[in-house]
């Protein structure tokens, strides 16, 4: 009986060894995580902050100018979109990238706006690669307490 357990353990050890060698091969061949190999979408990171009077959205969009970015309100959603183009020159054909981490392409971020947002008064500013959008909120009316009568 011990022989059977030892043999099973040996098979498991061989499988683990094979898996480690296989993973090591891909880590050495592709110096990125496997999930990143097929990740081609570039999406700016955002913060969405509710300060009580307004919703503030900050998006890191380095390398673009305000003409490359579009901010619209569509169906109670704030939509931030744009495109980051790669700079290519004719002499770049002879270059071989050793590391290429910068991402290029179009992006689109959609943020749902609360019911009490005033989409007609939205302000947007782009400075030093950071887009700031301020969406004012309607003031809340007085709270009405309804008395429950018992019969």
Alpha-carbon distance 136 to 73, whole Å? Answer: 13
Size of the chain, expressed as the number of residues it contains? 151
Alpha-carbon distance 66 to 128, whole Å? Answer: 11
If 0-12 CB within 10 Å is exposed, 13-18 middle and 19+ buried, where does residue 25 land?
A: exposed
| Residue 26 pLDDT greater than 80, yes or no | no
Helix (H, G, I), strand (E, B) or coil at 135: strand
Hey, which bits of 7-147 come out as E strands?
Answer: 46-50, 54-60, 69-74, 77-84, 105-112, 123-127, 130-136
Stated pTM of the model = 0.61
137: Cβ–Cβ under 8 A, 6 or more apart, which residues? 52, 53, 54, 55, 114, 116, 117, 118
Q: How confident is the model at residue 95 (pLDDT cuts 50, 70, 90)?
A: confident
Q: How confident is the model at residue 133 (pLDDT cuts 50, 70, 90)?
A: very high
Q: Which of 23-32, 84-93, 99-108 has the lowest mean pLDDT?
A: 23-32
Number of Cβ within a 10 Å radius of residue 107: 18
């Amino acid at each position: 009986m011990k022989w059977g357990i030892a043999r099973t353990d040996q098979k498991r050890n061989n499988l683990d060894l094979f898996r480690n060698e296989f993973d090591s091969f891909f880590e050495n061949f592709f110096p990125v995580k496997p999930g990143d190999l097929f990740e081609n979408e570039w999406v700016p990171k955002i913060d969405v902050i509710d300060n009580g009077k307004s919703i503030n959205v900050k998006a890191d969009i380095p390398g673009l100018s305000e003409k490359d970015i579009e901010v619209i309100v569509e169906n109670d959603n704030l939509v931030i979109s744009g495109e980051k183009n790669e700079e290519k020159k004719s002499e770049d054909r002879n270059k071989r990238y050793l590391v290429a981490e910068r991402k290029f392409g179009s992006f689109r971020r959609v943020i749902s706006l609360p019911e009490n947002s005033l989409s007609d008064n939205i302000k947007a500013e782009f400075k030093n690669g950071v887009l700031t959008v301020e969406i004012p909120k309607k003031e809340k009316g007085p709270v009405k307490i309804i008395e429950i009568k018992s019969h």
